Structure 1
Amino acid sequence: MLEDQMEAEALDLLDPMRAPQLRSLLMENLSDRFMRQIAFALFQRMRHSVQLLSCINNVISHEAAMSSLPEVMLAGISELAPLRGRMLLAIDGDLIGAVVDALCGATTAQPFERYELSMLETRIGKQMIDLSLSTIAETLNPLAQLDLTPIAYENATGMLAIADGQDWMIAVTGIFETALGSGTIKLIAPYAGFEPLEAKVASQSGLLGGRGEDTGWITAIESLAETTQVDLRFEVARAVVPLAVFEGVTTGSILPLSLWPEAVAVSGEVDLFWADYGQDSGHVCCRVKAMDEEGDASMSEQKTRIGVADRLAEPERIELERIQGQPRGVPVLTARNVLDKVQVALSVELGRTQIAVKDLRALRHGQILALDQAVGDPLTIFANGQKMAYGEVVAVANDRYGVRVTALVEDAEQESGGAA
């Protein structure tokens, strides 16, 4: 059971002690996307199949990142402005060679030990680097507008230092395959360099303790509020009667209840607000009434709802007692006694309507809602939530109004079926 009062403390789910920081998650989500975009861009430019087999993300030291580069490769270095630091993108010599072979018309792979890149491979490799960095910039553009134009090309790992040896780096490795061979494209960027981007995303989404609004979530909620419809029904009377009384209800009977001077709007099994009822332009209408601080209490006084126990007893194993015969002199149990104890909930419905969540939220005192009931149509009578009969308003004693049954649902359906 939930306690009535509980002390709650805000929990930062992205605390470094509990989960990776946002920039790691951000790069993990983006890296697969821009690696696939790189494969597609290479296919468009080279007109040869380039497929991404897998994408691997790591946060490692700069020293480990440099030692993981292939021996034969070509790398491009670019500034991360307006972020901090530099980014390195290295393409495996085997992948460059496979692309060059395909461009030269080769149809089968010729595996051999590669020690360096030829001038043609270097030129094509630079084009591949430019294309890859441009694709990454386009992918990151919604978050930060980066100019990733290479400031240098290098093929010696000793010339590729972009940070201190023990600085943490984000390393993304894409494994690509072509018709003539496979290879890798490795992206290395300083972990600290993406801190401004992390702060920007956090402030917009409210993550990492930020208090900014999540605009995407708000937009989605507003869209749902405009399109989601809430069914409202307006009830004007309720009563709980014994089953024996209910069984005696026939056409012409006056139900043992009185009409309320106001209707209650109900959604599902929840009473929402009171409303005056009348007619306008040939339809039954309801005018919303403002709820005061004691509105809920007064509503509870005029209606009956089935409650649930506050607590459930602990289960206890019990055994059935041996049943004894009926002793002499005990009153005989009659059907009437049983039926008097069975209760039936009656309700009288004025009409129904649908309203968008957005409009329901904006309801004001005095606003008029048109129902699906035309003036002169009978009221609908429900028993335990099931449509039972139709009725009309009649005057009873002491300036009160009641409901007289005009037709049972089954009879009305038979008459409408016969007329058709």
Structure 2
Amino acid sequence: MADVLSQNEIDALLSAISTGEMDAEELKKEEAEKKVKVYDFKRALRFSKDQVRSLSRIHENYARLLTTYFSAQLRTYVQISVASVDQVPYEEFIRSVPKMTILNLFEAPPLDGRLLIEVNPNIAYAMLDRVLGGQGKGMNKVDSLTEIETRIMNQLFDRALDCFGEAWGTIIDVEPEMLDFEVNPQFLQMVSPNETVVVISLTTTIGETSGMINICLPHVVLEPIIPKLSVHHWMQNKQRERLPEEVEKLESRVKTAMLPLTAELGRCQISVQEFLSLSNNDVLELDQKISEPLTINVQGKNKFIGQPGKVKNQMAIQIIDAYEKGDFNDE
């Protein structure tokens, strides 16, 4: 919103112009000059704000799924939420990662390329401590993980990838698969240093221990599905037209479906005591005469009216008309 000048400021401005202290033509020239916006090609913004918001929504769902998963696995209070979604060069992301941390490298076919989940050492060890029966205290000993501890940690995050696939199911069906488990980011080269990546930071709390889980998604991996990250794609509800063969197959299955059909002979009201004392050969008086047509129900809904009879010495009912609301026995 533009600043509003006070009356004193307006008077001072008019006075400066009239005395020659300020040139009106120079002011016009300054306004006409084009303002240059600095653009850093090393930090190229490859995702629009709309697409970043979509990524944020996807990973908010992922955070909820991870909260449920880790709470069940660790049997303790776990809270995970999205803290930020940023797009930075891959080199800048790697420099921000601690020298010794938990790096889970995975693929998500049909997307072509590798993705990364980086887990803060405090959080990683708190999880490991809980799995091994401890209190879940954070401790940075990632550089000295034993083979058994590494295997447990790998399996814990391997199963967490199922939640990743479920969260992305609204955009694309992916099948995440763990590729590698690293502790030193210097040995990890996913994409070129200047490649733009989206980094989703998840604030994670396990008991009294807090830390970050960072998900690194390179632009080159997400490029084929970027159009699907727009609001237009999220809001539209495209319905694919069924092929004639599919329609025919569906109709044949519907036609062979079994439906319960009953004929209502009549009704009566009795007390609970009378109901409890019913026995063989007891007779109940119904509210319908023999000459009146019967109501035929299909899955509990009144659909037809008919008359009773016999066919080949078996009880039967003949449909004589469609049931219309307002007919007898209508509730």
TM-score (normalizing by structure 1): 0.42
Which residue of 138, 158, 161 maps to 2:189? 161
Q: Distance in 2 between matches of 1:21 and 1:35?
A: 21
Q: Distance in 2 between matches of 1:191 and 1:128?
A: 27
Deviations for 1:224-266, whole angstroms, at most 9, x for unmatched residues?
xxxxxxxxxxxxxxxxxxxxxxxxxxxxxxxxxxxxxxxxxxx
Which residue of 133, 142, 151 maps to 2:161? 133
* Mapped contact 1:96–1:124 kept (Cα < 8 A): no
For the pair 1:205 / 2:232, whether they are aligned, the reply is yes
Flag the structure with higher strand content: 1
For the pair 1:25 / 2:25, whether they are aligned, the reply is no
Contiguous gaps of at least 5 residues in structure 1: 1-15, 208-212, 217-420
Counterpart secondary structure, 1:150: strand
Q: Which residue of 2 aligns with 1:68?
A: 96
Which residue of 91, 98, 103 maps to 2:126? 98
Which residue of 85, 91, 108 maps to 1:80? 108
* Mapped contact 1:94–1:183 kept (Cα < 8 A): yes
Larger Rg: 1
For the pair 1:51 / 2:79, whether they are aligned, the reply is yes
- C-alpha distance 179-35 of structure 1, shift in aligned 2 (>3 A): same
Q: Distance in 2 between matches of 1:41 and 1:178?
A: 13
For the pair 1:215 / 2:237, whether they are aligned, the reply is yes
One-letter identity of the residue aligned with 2:88: I
Deviations for 1:27-69, whole angstroms, at most 9, x for unmatched residues?
1221222122112111112222211255221100000111122
Which residue of 206, 219, 232 maps to 1:191? 219
Counterpart secondary structure, 1:215: coil
* Mapped contact 1:23–1:195 kept (Cα < 8 A): no
Q: Which residue of 1 aligns with 2:328?
A: none
Q: Which residue of 2 aligns with 1:273?
A: none
Deviations for 1:57-107, whole angstroms, at most 9, x for unmatched residues?
110000011112233322222223322321111222211211222233334
Q: How far is the alpha carbon of 1:143 from its aligned partner?
A: 1.3
- C-alpha distance 111-22 of structure 1, shift in aligned 2 (>3 A): closer
- C-alpha distance 26-84 of structure 1, shift in aligned 2 (>3 A): farther
Q: Which residue of 1 aligns with 2:67?
A: 39
Q: How far is the alpha carbon of 1:139 from its aligned partner?
A: 0.7
One-letter identity of the residue aligned with 1:26: S
Q: Distance in 1 between matches of 2:186 and 2:114?
A: 16
Q: Distance in 1 between matches of 2:192 and 2:113?
A: 11
- C-alpha distance 75-214 of structure 1, shift in aligned 2 (>3 A): same
* Mapped contact 1:60–1:169 kept (Cα < 8 A): yes
* Mapped contact 1:96–1:121 kept (Cα < 8 A): no
TM-score (normalizing by structure 2): 0.52
Q: Which residue of 1 aligns with 2:313?
A: none
Count of aligned pairs between the two proteins? 195
One-letter identity of the residue aligned with 2:117: L
- C-alpha distance 199-53 of structure 1, shift in aligned 2 (>3 A): closer
Counterpart secondary structure, 2:117: strand
One-letter identity of the residue aligned with 2:237: T
Flag the structure with higher helix content: 2
Q: Distance in 1 between matches of 2:97 and 2:205?
A: 18
- C-alpha distance 124-181 of structure 1, shift in aligned 2 (>3 A): farther
Q: Distance in 1 between matches of 2:216 and 2:138?
A: 30
Q: Distance in 1 between matches of 2:136 and 2:233?
A: 54
Which residue of 157, 172, 179 maps to 1:151? 179
- C-alpha distance 126-95 of structure 1, shift in aligned 2 (>3 A): same
Q: How far is the alpha carbon of 1:115 from its aligned partner?
A: 4.1
Q: Distance in 1 between matches of 2:54 and 2:68?
A: 22
Q: How far is the alpha carbon of 1:113 from its aligned partner?
A: 6.6
Q: How far is the alpha carbon of 1:196 from its aligned partner?
A: 2.2
Contiguous gaps of at least 5 residues in structure 2: 1-43, 239-331
Q: Distance in 2 between matches of 1:206 and 1:104?
A: 44
Deviations for 1:304-356, whole angstroms, at most 9, x for unmatched residues?
xxxxxxxxxxxxxxxxxxxxxxxxxxxxxxxxxxxxxxxxxxxxxxxxxxxxx
Q: Distance in 2 between matches of 1:78 and 1:130?
A: 9
Taking only aligned residues, the RMSD between alpha carbons, in angstroms, comes to 3.0
Q: How far is the alpha carbon of 1:199 from its aligned partner?
A: 2.0
One-letter identity of the residue aligned with 1:65: F
Counterpart secondary structure, 1:42: helix
Q: Distance in 2 between matches of 1:110 and 1:168?
A: 32
Identity among equivalent pairs (%) = 18
Aligned ranges 1:250-399 → 2 under 5 Å: none
